[in-house]
Structure 1
Amino acid sequence: MVLERRLLAAGMDPRNSTLIDHVHLRVRDLEASKRFYRAVLQALGKGELIREGPDHLSAGELWIDAADAAPSHVHLAFCAQDQVAVQRFHAAALAAGGRDNGPPGERAYHPGYYAAFVWDPDGHNIEAVWHGAARGEESVAESARAAGP
């Protein structure tokens, strides 16, 4: 498969996945998306994960390339290390061409859920979330797994 070879070449090994193998965003303007995702990933302290080629940008399990037709539309939530990182994400996203979809602040999803939302250049709903000191870096999936059936 062409995508699997590209993922391996970018340092993403789909054979070692636990649940989410990768997120593939198909975008209308690759250069605008590269600027946007470089800015937000660097604001979240994840700049070292960024890999780029002329036809893509990748970071961890995230793969971005140009759409052949219409771009995809997804909701993608990045982990943030604290509230300040969420605020940096929001500011960087807006400065890099994103549109506000919810400023940094507490959300009612659970106590301590602090997040910001932006629309990326292609209309993807991009979030940075910190689950509060009580939850630390634990993801929503890890929390559900610990709670059991």
Structure 2
Amino acid sequence: MLDHTGFVVTDLKRARAFYDAIAAALELQTIDNGDGAFLLGKSVQQPIPYLWIGTTRPSYWAQGSRAGLNQTHIAFQAESKAMVDEFHRAAMAAGGKDHGKPGPRQGAGDYYGAFVLDPDGNNIEACARGGDLSR
């Protein structure tokens, strides 16, 4: 039920490389959004929901806020266990840090997920729910 969310990063080029990698693993796209930001979403044709990622400090932030100060958690839907595995592999190859290897989570039902920290320490997850998670 996400329309949009976003966060500020310290290095747009480094963030773009990281999010390009995980977008490909999740069959998503990154889209330019001016000099200081980009969007991550389904496609240009289906732009919402999206994740805004940029270096500009939003006007609505509370005083003292900065990139990475308040860790953000974003969970992306994945269609399969294999897609979650590919997300984790792509994130590690693009400079992410493991924050929970791919696997089922106790007490979460039919759930398979992986957690990584992006280059600014934001907690990024991909998860598959229900269906046949044996693949």
- TM-score, length-scaled by structure 2: 0.78
Larger radius of gyration: 1
Higher helix share: 1
- Equivalent residues of 1:82, 1:132 under 8 A apart: no
CA RMSD in angstroms comes to 1.8
CA deviations on 1:93-129 (whole Å, 9 max, x unpaired) are 0000000001000002422210000000000000000
Partner of 2:66: 70
Distance 1:109 1:36, change over 3 A: farther
Q: Which runs of 5+ in 1 are unaligned?
A: 1-18, 136-149
* Preserved CA contact (<8 Å) 1:56 1:66: yes
Partner of 1:51: 31
Residue 87 (structure 1) aligned with residue 85 (structure 2): yes
Which residue is equivalent to 2:16?
34
2:3 is the counterpart of 1:21? yes
Bigger strand fraction: 2
Aligned length: 115
Partner SS for 1:58: strand
Choose which of 113, 116, 119 in structure 2 pairs with 1:115. Answer: 113
Match of 1:22, as an amino acid?
H
Residues 134 and 111 from structure 1, CA distance in 2 versus in 1: closer, same or farther, beyond 3 angstroms? farther
User: Matched residues, percent identical?
Assistant: 41
Higher RCO (CA-CA < 8 Å; seq separation 6+)? 2
